[in-house]
């Protein structure tokens, strides 16, 4: 079973000829509000009831269920993995398009993630004793499975 990120097409009245913006949200009301916040930056007279919202099923995103390994990882280490891969903010950076975490070679969270085979030490860094870590294929898989469904929600 997978998790579903619902897509909504939100349009303000002055966007009559435009298809609208795709916003991912659990409900039409939340999508309308997010669209209103974005559009009201450009229109002081805009009211939330002026926004139109329609379900955009073809743009839905299916995400994997939480990986079994995620339950074994400490919350702090998991947050580091999500940050390294961009999975904690998928609406800003698609998960996996970012893959780096700069820390001390002896960082306890990185050591934990390496023990699980989720991160690897690149042995390169700018300062003595600090290096870049990057997620392995398994690390990217676990991160994707913990990606929050919607903006302003905690990771799975």
Indicate the domain borders of the chain. 3-63, 68-146
pLDDT at 92 over 70: no
Compute CA distances 50 → 55, 57, 92, 113, whole Å: 17, 22, 27, 48
Q: Which CATH architecture has domain 68-146?
A: Orthogonal Bundle (1.10)
CA distance 100 to 81: 9
Question: What average pLDDT score do residues 8-20 get?
Answer: 78
134-149 pLDDT per residue, tens: 999 999 999 999 988 8
Quote the pLDDT of residue 2: 83
Tell me how far apart the alpha carbons of residues 3 and 113 are, in angstroms, rounded to a whole number. Answer: 25
Residue 7: name the closest of 24, 19, 20 by CA: 24
Pair of tokens at residue 95: 């998960």
Instruction: Provide the whole-model pTM.
Output: 0.77
Q: In this predicted structure, what is the pLDDT of residue 35?
A: 87
Encode 131-152 in three state secondary structure.
Answer: EEEEECHHHHHHHHHHCCCCCC
Closest Cα partner for 130 from 87, 101, 152, 150?
Answer: 101
CA neighbor of 78 nearest in space, from 151, 154, 1, 2: 154
């Amino acid at each position: 079973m997978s998790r579903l990120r619902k897509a909504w097409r939100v349009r303000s009245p002055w966007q009559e000829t435009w298809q609208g913006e795709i916003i991912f949200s659990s409900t039409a009301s939340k999508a309308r509000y997010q669209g209103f916040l974005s559009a009201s930056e450009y229109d002081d007279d805009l009211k939330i009831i002026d926004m139109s919202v329609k379900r955009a099923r073809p743009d839905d995103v299916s995400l994997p269920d939480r990986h079994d390994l995620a339950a074994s990882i400490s919350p702090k280490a998991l947050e580091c993995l999500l940050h390294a891969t961009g999975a904690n903010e998928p609406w800003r950076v698609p998960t996996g398009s970012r893959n780096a975490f700069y820390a001390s070679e002896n960082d306890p969270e990185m050591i934990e993630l390496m023990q699980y085979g989720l991160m690897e030490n690149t042995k390169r860094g700018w300062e003595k004793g600090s290096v870049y870590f990057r997620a392995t294929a398994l690390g990217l898989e676990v991160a994707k499975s913990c990606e929050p469904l919607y903006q302003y929600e905690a990771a799975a």
